[in-house]
């Protein structure tokens, strides 16, 4: 049985059952609703307060906060369908639901509080059959390089305003904006898809974001890396060329030595044979 920071009044006023509020601020932040196709996998980031860095985190399945059941915990082995990982540096734990089923609709991201009330928040999964996902992306993990740009296509079937948000941070709702100093463009030229471009990437841009339209979000993890320099590539190429050249030289020398020895041996045999005949 779990005990949560949730008053009766808050339960009446908040239909999403968010709990763990501290002075009006969420201590755990995640999506409110995602669209997933049955049989697919989806990863959900759960951002938490720095004070919870060393705490156990877990995913709880069920509509009600007081009757949900453990799906997976950070201090226990992951199951076949539920995975969890905790990035203590970025203060986010990520839960993955594999082989999504139609009954996988209600979940809680929760931080365990020893000797106190557990803290967390609720999210919902809208499970669809066939190709009727309402909001989705090609890949939930996208890699970009420092100083360059990366593009994410967000496909949708619903109405509402297109947004690109950093989890626990600001959103861009216009055709151009910025998040933490990085320029963001939103292009809605094509039907049923809006394209997000982050330009001039910095290492600090690494983290979780989400496409949003209407009441749905789809999380995307951006990984920013240093681009391999051309000098390093040239150096590696030269090492390969030099190594190959040395190998060819060794083979040629070995062949030459073998040929000389064979020729010398043949000459010696002819001399011996001639002397024997005499």
Are residues 120 and 37 both part of a single domain?
yes
Contact in structure between 198 and 183 (CB atoms under 8 Å): yes
Is the residue at 7 inside a domain?
no
Q: Distance between CA atoms of 165 and 172, rounded to whole angstroms?
A: 6
How large is the average pLDDT for residues 168-175? Answer: 95
Q: Distance between CA atoms of 199 and 148, rounded to whole angstroms?
A: 6
Q: Is 171 exposed, middle or buried (0-12, 13-18, 19+ CB in 10 A)?
A: middle
Are residues 66 and 115 both part of a single domain?
yes
How large is the average pLDDT for residues 242-263? Answer: 74
Kindly report the average pLDDT of the chain as a whole number.
84
Instruction: Please say which residue of 70, 97, 128 terminates a domain.
Output: 128
Q: What is the DSSP string of 82-107?
A: EEEEEETTTTEEEEEE-S--TT--EE
Instruction: Please say which residue of 209, 225, 241 terminates a domain.
Output: 225
Query: Which of the residue ranges 128-132, 158-162, 175-179 would you say has the lowest mean pLDDT?
Result: 128-132
Is the residue at 206 inside a domain?
yes
Is the residue at 208 inside a domain?
yes
Are residues 120 and 148 both part of a single domain?
no
Query: Which residue carries 């749905």 as its tokens?
Result: 216
How large is the average pLDDT for residues 177-187? Answer: 97
Confidence of residue 275 (pLDDT cuts 50, 70, 90): low
Are residues 67 and 111 both part of a single domain?
yes
The predicted pLDDT at position 71 comes to 96
Tell me if residue 115 falls in helix, strand or coil. Answer: coil
Confidence of residue 78 (pLDDT cuts 50, 70, 90): confident
Determine if residue 247 is left, alpha or beta; phi over 0 gives left, psi from -120 to 50 gives alpha, anything else beta: alpha
The predicted pLDDT at position 50 comes to 96
Is the residue at 96 inside a domain?
yes
Are residues 182 and 95 both part of a single domain?
no
The predicted pLDDT at position 17 comes to 47
Contact in structure between 95 and 86 (CB atoms under 8 Å): no
Is the residue at 13 inside a domain?
no
Is the residue at 106 inside a domain?
yes
Are residues 45 and 76 both part of a single domain?
yes
Are residues 76 and 122 both part of a single domain?
yes
Among residues 40, 228, 2, the alpha carbon closest in space to that of 137 is found at 40
Are residues 39 and 112 both part of a single domain?
yes
Are residues 155 and 119 both part of a single domain?
no
Per the structure, the complete domain to which residue 200 belongs is given by 135-225
Are residues 171 and 123 both part of a single domain?
no
The 10s digit of each residue's pLDDT in 92-133 is 999 999 999 999 999 999 999 998 899 999 999 999 987 778
Instruction: Please say which residue of 106, 128, 150 terminates a domain.
Output: 128
How large is the average pLDDT for residues 147-160? Answer: 96
The predicted pLDDT at position 14 comes to 39
Residue 77 Cα distances to 73, 83, 203, 278, angstroms:
7, 9, 31, 90
Are residues 122 and 209 both part of a single domain?
no
Is the residue at 71 inside a domain?
yes
What percentage of the chain exceeds 90 in pLDDT? 65
Is the residue at 9 inside a domain?
no
**C-alpha R_g of the chain:** 31
- Count the alpha carbons within 13 Å of 63 in the hemisphere toward its beta carbon: 3
Are residues 39 and 121 both part of a single domain?
yes
For residue 208, the domain's CATH number is 2.60.40.10
How large is the average pLDDT for residues 257-268? Answer: 65
Domain count, the chain: 2
Q: Distance between CA atoms of 231 and 85, rounded to whole angstroms?
A: 36
Among residues 110, 114, 113, the alpha carbon closest in space to that of 95 is found at 110
């Amino acid at each position: 049985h779990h005990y949560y920071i949730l008053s009766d009044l808050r339960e009446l006023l908040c239909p999403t059952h968010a709990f763990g509020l501290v002075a009006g601020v969420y201590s755990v932040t995640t999506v409110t609703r995602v669209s997933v196709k049955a049989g697919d996998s989806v990863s959900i980031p759960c951002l938490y307060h720095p004070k919870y860095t060393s705490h156990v985190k877990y995913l709880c399945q069920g509509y009600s906060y007081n009757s949900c059941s453990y799906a997976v915990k950070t201090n226990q082995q992951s199951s076949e369908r539920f995975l969890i990982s905790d990035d203590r540096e970025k203060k986010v734990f990520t839960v993955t639901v594999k082989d999504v089923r139609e009954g996988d609709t209600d979940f809680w991201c929760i931080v365990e509080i020893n000797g106190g009330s557990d803290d967390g928040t609720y999210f919902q999964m809208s499970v669809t059959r066939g190709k009727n996902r309402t909001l989705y992306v090609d890949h939930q993990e996208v890699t970009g390089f420092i100083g360059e740009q990366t593009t994410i296509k967000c496909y949708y079937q619903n109405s509402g305003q297109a947004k690109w948000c950093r989890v626990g941070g600001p959103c861009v709702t216009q055709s151009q904006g910025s998040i933490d100093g990085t320029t963001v463009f939103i292009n809605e030229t094509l039907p049923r898809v809006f394209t997000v471009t982050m330009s001039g990437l910095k290492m600090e841009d690494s983290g979780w974001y989400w496409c949003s339209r209407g009441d749905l979000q789809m999380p995307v993890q951006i990984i920013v890396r240093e681009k391999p320099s051309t000098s390093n590539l040239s150096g590696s190429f030269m090492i390969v060329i030099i190594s190959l050249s040395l190998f060819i030289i060794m083979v040629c020398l070995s062949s030459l030595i073998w040929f000389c020895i064979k020729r010398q041996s043949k000459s010696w045999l002819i001399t011996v044979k001639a002397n024997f005949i005499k």
